[in-house]
């Protein structure tokens, strides 16, 4: 029995990196975790690791840009558990790093669909279930380039800036009439596949492991929210 016993959590992008580590950390504290991602085999591996550690999890393979799939998942969660306590919006794609005039529209549109449209659909579909929790929590993962634009990172930074606006607005809309609270978390430099793609020459051991971010997320979920949205940077 952990601090999150009885809680139902949904983690997107849970097949690897920060998402996988967060799912395992939440399960270790007693939450039942719903794992979503496109890679079924990888999801099954995380689910097995959670079960072997004494936790519980359910996999829900899906592509978040298929918004109908999100609605179907929300319906399934409502029928089985009747609520959602924790929503971790972690899944994102980097896209191509390039000067703004050279942004590839196909890649940019996919990033917009994954990093902005999918999170909005998640909030829209799970809002009612989050309100049924005695302490609903929405955690959105962001990046420093959302607030401090950097050359060649315009496309990715723009999608994450938009995500922050959505999360901030939602937090303001619900904080005085529900128990739902929102946190916007900047994980900082972390050892992930996305980081390796963006910084191919970097020594992976020079940056922190995903578990550090995961533990921070668990601490946020289980703590008091002095404000909503709560903004946290993980060193």
Which amino acids are annotated catalytic?
Answer: 156
Phi and psi (nearest 5°) for 197? -70, -40
Q: How many residues are listed for the chain in this entry? A: 235
The CA distances from residue 149 to 105, 144, 155, 158, 177, in Å, are: 19, 8, 10, 8, 34
The Cα 115–Cα 121 span in angstroms is: 11
Query: How far apart, in Å, are the Cα atoms of 132 and each of 81, 85, 123?
Result: 11, 8, 14
Tokens, residue 188: 């900082």
Q: Please state whether beta strands 56-59 and 181-186 pair in parallel, antiparallel, or not at all (unpaired).
A: unpaired
3-state class (DSSP) for residue 102: helix
């Amino acid at each position: 029995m952990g601090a999150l016993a009885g809680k139902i959590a949904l983690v997107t992008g849970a097949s690897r990196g920060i998402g996988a580590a967060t799912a395992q950390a939440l399960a270790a504290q007693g939450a039942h975790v719903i794992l979503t991602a496109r890679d079924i085999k990888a999801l099954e591996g995380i689910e097995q690791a959670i079960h072997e550690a004494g936790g519980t999890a359910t996999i829900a393979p899906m592509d978040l840009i298929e918004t109908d799939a999100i609605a179907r998942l929300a319906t399934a969660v409502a029928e089985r558990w009747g609520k959602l306590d924790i929503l971790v919006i972690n899944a994102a794609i980097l896209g191509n790093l390039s000067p703004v005039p050279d942004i590839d529209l196909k890649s940019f549109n996919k990033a917009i669909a994954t990093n902005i449209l999918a999170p909005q659909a998640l909030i829209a579909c799970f809002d009612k279930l989050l309100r049924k929790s005695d302490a609903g929590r929405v955690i959105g993962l962001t990046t420093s380039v959302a607030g401090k634009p950097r050359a060649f990172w315009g496309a990715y930074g723009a999608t994450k800036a938009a995500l922050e606006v959505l999360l901030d607005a939602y937090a303001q809309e619900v904080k005085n009439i529900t128990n739902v609270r929102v946190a916007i978390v900047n994980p900082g430099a972390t050892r992930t596949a996305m980081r390796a793609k963006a910084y191919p020459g970097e020594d992976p051991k020079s940056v922190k492991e995903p578990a550090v971010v995961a533990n921070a997320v668990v601490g946020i979920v289980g703590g008091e929210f002095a404000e909503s949205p709560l903004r946290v940077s993980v060193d």
